[in-house]
Amino acid sequence: MNIAISSDNHFDINKAATSKIVFLQASYLKQLAIDYYFITGDLFNNFEQTINYVEQLQREVGSVPKIYFIAGNHDMLNGVTYAELERPNLHPQYLHHRILQIPHKNLSVVGNNGWYDYSFSDQIGDNQKSTAEILRWKQSFWVDQKIDSPISDQERMQNVLQQVETDFKQVTRQHEKVLFLTHFVPHQNFIFDQLDHPRWQTINAFLGSKHLGDLIEKYPVQYAAFGHLHIRHLPQTIANTTYIHQPLGYGVRRAFEWQQTDFLTEWQRTLKILVV
């Protein structure tokens, strides 16, 4: 069975011709005989556009591959509320706090959008900021200030940890293999620890949570795929889990993160294929 994983396509920011690219992506997925295609967030700056894209791609490929997604912070900016994001029946292809079981491969896919709790902000540098200072910076400068969030970031991340542990407990009793999908950074090995500028120390706060990495290590999770960071990593095994992070990222003048000049080629290069 072939599984494809992609993240951070950012169709709107990249000014990609979506209607044309959907057809080409569908053809490529069929050519590779992909059975499942998982997207770990940040398709558009609008959740409704993200839904429209996923539905259109599913129509183009037909019944196989089956396509599922979770939401990144950009998907959350418009067109959806926090309460809606937490609804288990929001959309049949939306995998947040859901389990997709593939019995004939003894595999469970656990999805969760994820969030952050500032626990990465104390991992580097000497000039540590307080929670209040980090929150003020977020409300002034960070794009996530636009996201509907009726609770604190710490409470939101605590909900994520409770959801993930509940799902892990359920699947590890039934299946030997677990693929975990999230958007935000799940392990401190991937944060900007090589940068000591105060701005980057603050941005680390919004990348994810070190507590999620601790939780993953408690369970037999074979793979954990994520996005959010626009820095690509080779698959890295920590404890018993192989982490997958190959985001497409931005291909625009102000932030050109690609190795090629066209969207489709870069998407093909960053598409991760797992054979299970």
Interval 190-217 mean pLDDT: 82
Q: Say how far apart CA 228 and CA 217 lie, in whole Å.
A: 21
- pLDDT for 121 equals 82
- pLDDT for 173 equals 74
Give 26-61 pLDDT, tens digit per residue: 999 999 999 999 999 999 999 999 999 999 999 999
Q: Can you give the CATH number for the domain in which 192 is found?
A: 3.60.21.10
Position 270, amino acid: T
What tokens appear for 157 in the block?
């991340």
Residues 68, 29, 256: CA angle, nearest 5 degrees: 85
Cβ contact 75:47 at 8 Å? yes
**Number of domains observed in the structure of the chain:** 1
What tokens appear for 206 in the block?
């919004």
- pLDDT for 111 equals 98
Residue 193 confidence class, pLDDT cut points 50, 70, 90: low
Q: Say how far apart CA 61 and CA 35 lie, in whole Å.
A: 11
Q: Say how far apart CA 166 and CA 112 lie, in whole Å.
A: 12
Q: In what order do the strands lie in the sheet with 272-275?
A: 66-70, 36-40, 2-6, 272-275
Instruction: Write out the residue range of the structural domain in which residue 216 sits.
Output: 2-275
Pairing between β-strand 272-275 and β-strand 2-6 as defined by DSSP bridges:
antiparallel
Q: Say how far apart CA 94 and CA 48 lie, in whole Å.
A: 12
Residue 157 vs residue 261, higher pLDDT: 157
Residue 103 confidence class, pLDDT cut points 50, 70, 90: confident
Q: Say how far apart CA 39 and CA 25 lie, in whole Å.
A: 13
Q: Say how far apart CA 22 and CA 28 lie, in whole Å.
A: 10
Give 256-273 pLDDT, tens digit per residue: 999 988 999 999 999 999
The partner residues of 260 in beta bridges, in order of sequence, read none
pLDDT at residue 123 greater than cutoff 60: no
Question: In the predicted model, what is the mean pLDDT of the chain?
Answer: 93
- pLDDT for 176 equals 77
Radius of gyration of the chain (CA): 18
**Which is nearest to 205 in space by CA: 257, 150, 136?**
136
